[in-house]
């Protein structure tokens, strides 16, 4: 087997073992000896079928993520195309106005009421250069404006075409898969997560409540999955950094807690209280096993109640 096959097999076996463990101690009730796709909940007794299990990046690989879970090929492809791509484009767009070193930024410039497509390139030293191409413009207009030394009237940075809601669903997907990676099937099989799965598979409809994420400047040790214990906004959270290669942004995304109505576990107050002292459990500096350690799982359940 190649490295990818070895990794897929390892993840497959680990979460089958986790599901059997949780069934044995009564934390979940489901089939045994299967891998359940976390997005569509389809059961898999083998990795390679007509709809095989594929490595899933959370966050997207192009934003610094790694493949530590499996989803079925259908879910992986559809979510990647419909929602993940919008997040990647948005994060790249946010970098453009910063004119960061070693980047190239597509722009439109207005000269004498004519629009010319060009790009600004910034080298590793921060030196900027404006480049226009005959290929992307009317050659006659471009030559005329440059030859006459016309003054640039306006510069507009070109943005990617994205759907704002879909990039939010990509954040939700990353957060959800991180919960699965950390806790296995302990939470995601609960009915409270049906709304998450429905949103990921129906990105053309607004199903999940607004106001479920913020950006926050926290130490990298706070990356991971936690219980947010502040009053009125108690929930699970996934905290992660999106890295474009030129900038890094930490996101905090709220997810339901089992048996809590969505309007309680997801609160719009999170954005309003951005500067509040968020209280997370467990301690971010202590690594704990929540897949197979019975004592850790029991303690976690106590802190949820």
Q: Model confidence over 221-241: pLDDT tens digits?
A: 999 999 988 877 888 999 999
**Residue 269: closest CA among 227, 233, 230:** 233
As a dihedral over the C-alpha atoms of residue 167, residue 200, residue 80, residue 17, rounded to 10 degrees, the angle is: 130
First to last CA, the chain: 44
User: How far, in Å, CA of 83 to CA of 128, rounded?
Assistant: 33
What confidence score (pLDDT) does residue 181 get? Answer: 97
- CA distances from residue 7 to 19, 66, 189, 207, 289 in whole angstroms, order as listed: 19, 12, 24, 34, 20
What confidence score (pLDDT) does residue 139 get? Answer: 76
3-state secondary structure of 2: coil
Alpha helices (H) in the chain, listed in sequence order = 3-24, 73-79, 85-95, 139-147, 164-183, 185-188, 194-201, 262-265, 269-272, 294-304
Contacts of 250 (CB under 8 A, 6+ apart): 215, 216, 217, 218, 220, 222, 223, 239, 240, 241
**Residue 58: closest CA among 246, 239, 278:** 239
User: How far, in Å, CA of 126 to CA of 21, rounded?
Assistant: 55
Locate the domains of the chain by residue range: 3-92+163-304, 95-157
What confidence score (pLDDT) does residue 267 get? Answer: 64
Q: Which residues of the chain have pLDDT under 50?
A: none
User: How far, in Å, CA of 249 to CA of 241, rounded?
Assistant: 5
Do 192 and 258 meet the contact criterion of CB atoms below 8 Å apart? yes
114 forms beta bridges with 111
What confidence score (pLDDT) does residue 15 get? Answer: 98
Residue 134: CB atoms within 10 Å: 10
Residue indicated by tokens 């990617």? 160
DSSP string, 25-92: TTS----SS-EE-TTT--EESSSSSSS-EEEEEES-GGGT-EEEEEEEHHHHHHHIIIIIHHHHHHHH
Percent of the chain having pLDDT more than 90?
56
């Amino acid at each position: 087997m190649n490295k990818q096959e070895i990794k897929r097999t390892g993840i497959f076996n680990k979460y089958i073992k986790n599901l059997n463990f949780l069934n044995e101690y009564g934390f979940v009730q489901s089939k045994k000896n299967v891998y359940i796709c976390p997005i569509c909940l389809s059961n898999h007794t083998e990795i390679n079928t007509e709809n095989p299990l594929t490595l899933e990046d959370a966050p997207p690989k192009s934003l610094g993520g790694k493949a530590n879970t499996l989803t079925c090929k259908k879910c992986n492809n559809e979510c990647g195309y419909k929602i993940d791509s919008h997040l990647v484009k948005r994060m790249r767009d946010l970098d453009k106005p910063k004119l960061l070193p070693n980047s190239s930024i597509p722009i439109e410039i207005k000269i004498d009421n004519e629009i010319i497509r060009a790009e600004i390139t910034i080298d590793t030293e921060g030196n900027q250069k404006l480049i226009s191409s005959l290929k992307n413009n009317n050659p006659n207009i471009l030559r005329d404006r440059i030859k006459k030394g016309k003054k640039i009237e306006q510069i507009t940075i070109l943005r990617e075409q994205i759907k704002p809601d879909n990039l939010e669903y990509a954040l939700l997907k990353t957060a959800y898969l991180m919960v699965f990676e950390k806790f296995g099937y302990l939470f995601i099989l609960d009915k409270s997560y049906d709304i998450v799965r429905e949103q990921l598979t129906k990105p053309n409809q607004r199903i999940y409540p607004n106001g479920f994420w913020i950006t926050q400047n926290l130490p990298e040790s706070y990356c991971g999955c936690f219980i947010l214990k502040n009053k009125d906004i108690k929930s699970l959270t996934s905290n992660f950094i999106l890295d474009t290669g030129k900038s890094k942004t930490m996101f905090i995304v709220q997810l339901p807690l089992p048996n809590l109505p969505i309007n309680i576990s997801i609160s719009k107050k999170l954005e309003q209280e951005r500067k509040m002292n968020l209280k997370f459990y467990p301690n971010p500096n202590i690594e704990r096993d929540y897949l197979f350690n019975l004592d850790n799982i029991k303690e976690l359940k106590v802190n949820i109640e």
